[in-house]
Amino acid sequence: MQTVTLNNGLEMPILGFGVFQIPPEETEKAVTDALAAGYRKFDTASAYQNEEAVGRALAGSGIPRQDLFVTTKLWVQDNPAEEHTRRAFEASLSRLALDYLDLYLIHQPFGDVYGQWRAMQDLHAQGLIKAIGVSNFYPDRLIDLIDHNETAPAVNQVEVNPFFQRADYQRLMSERGVQTESWGPFAAGKNNLFTDPVLTGIGQAHGKSVAQVVLRWLIQRGVAVNAKSADPGRMAANLEVFDFDLTGEQMAAIAALDTGASLYFDHRDPETVTWLGNRRID
Ligand code: NAP
């Protein structure tokens, strides 16, 4: 598997398996199927409520820990954030039945993210987390966090798909040593992504599906990505993206699909800040 090198030297597989919206009772099978298909990187979150099932599948696989790359995410915490962050981290680690995490992300840019980040820096320094990062941070919040802390996030996991491409933001993050990671690479099928004529035409030229074209496009841009599928056939197909190259013309045709706007919600919108920021998971 192709990797990206994070700002602390850690190698991270460029393509992983995401388990958002896989019900807890179906997650152990999905992760077991994904391991059998060849995935070694897994992306979950305390908010997905399926960490225990991910942990059972990983433990049951017999695959050595060092061959796996596991990410989970810290949900918004009450104050004092440092104390709550440590507790939430320990709960996630215990649910995953692991003794360290490869990557731990602040899931949302809300609450006392500086307190959360200080606790994560400590956990990282203790060797309990290999790399720490953030998710859903817009540029202002990301740069402020970098400028006022010792450790810069290794990763920012943000919405990136053919209709919301964020090339300028990727450039800025790259200048600051932050790896861009896409969530929702298929925009969950919004905007008729899977039947989009441009993506379909490019797929036909390579004998590939739209999903494979999208994953290839992200990988060629150097964007890490987590694909989710509950279907073993689609899981396996989503890994078959390292045996073809998109041409410059095809990359340009996909670039032209950018609308520059989220297909979901804007994390700077006051209603979103209140809606997500006041939810509590653990
Ligand atoms: P997505 O990857 O854009 O879309 C997932 C959908 O695509 C599923 O319904 C899946 O259906 C379908 N699909 C997958 N492969 C396909 C294929 N080859 N052909 C046709 N359909 C296919 O959306 P997502 O699950 O929301 O995002 C992916 C991962 O990103 C998540 O699992 C999670 O790890 C992460 N994420 C993070 C955040 C965050 O705030 N940090 C937010 C959202 C997601 P089937 O399952 O039926 O195949």
Q: Whose CA is nearest to atom 10 of ligand 1?
A: 229
Residue 104 near residue 91 (C-beta atoms within 8 A): no
Q: Is 182 in the pocket of ligand 1 (CB under 6 A)?
A: no
How many A from CA of 45 to the centre of ligand 1? 14
pTM (two decimals): 0.97
Q: Is 187 in the pocket of ligand 1 (CB under 6 A)?
A: yes
Strand-strand pairing, 69-74 and 3-5: unpaired
Q: Whose CA is nearest to atom 20 of ligand 1?
A: 211
Tell me the pLDDT band of 265, cut-offs 50, 70 and 90: confident
What mean pLDDT do residues 115-138 have?
A: 98
How many A from CA of 115 to the centre of ligand 1? 31
How many A from CA of 107 to the centre of ligand 1? 17
Q: Is 50 in the pocket of ligand 1 (CB under 6 A)?
A: no
pLDDT digits (tens, 9 = 90+) for 64-89: 999 999 999 999 999 999 999 999 99
Q: Is 124 in the pocket of ligand 1 (CB under 6 A)?
A: no
How many A from CA of 20 to the centre of ligand 1? 7
How many A from CA of 39 to the centre of ligand 1? 15
Q: Whose CA is nearest to atom 34 of ligand 1?
A: 18
**Phi, psi at 78, each rounded to 5°:** -75, 170
What's the N-to-C CA distance of the chain in angstroms? 34
Look up residue 63 and give its two tokens.
């695959």
Res 167: pLDDT: 98
- What span, in angstroms and rounded, lies between the C-alpha atoms of 43 and 96? 12
Measured in whole angstroms, the distance separating CA 187 from the mean position of its chain's CA atoms is: 13
Q: Which of 17, 20, 155, 165 to mutate to test the pocket of ligand 1 (most atoms within 8 A of CB)?
A: 20
Domain ranges for the chain, please list them: 8-277
Q: Whose CA is nearest to atom 45 of ligand 1?
A: 229
Strand-strand pairing, 224-227 and 179-183: parallel
Provide the residue type at 164 as one letter.
F
Q: Is 227 in the pocket of ligand 1 (CB under 6 A)?
A: yes
- What span, in angstroms and rounded, lies between the C-alpha atoms of 187 and 163? 8
- What span, in angstroms and rounded, lies between the C-alpha atoms of 215 and 241? 7
Share of the chain above pLDDT 90, in %: 99
CATH entry, 8-277, from 3.40.640.10, 3.20.20.100, 3.40.50.720, 3.30.70.270: 3.20.20.100
pLDDT digits (tens, 9 = 90+) for 43-63: 999 999 999 999 999 999 999
**Phi, psi at 159, each rounded to 5°:** -65, 120
pLDDT digits (tens, 9 = 90+) for 233-262: 999 999 999 999 999 999 999 999 999 999
DSSP assignment, residue 67?
A: G
Q: Is 136 in the pocket of ligand 1 (CB under 6 A)?
A: yes
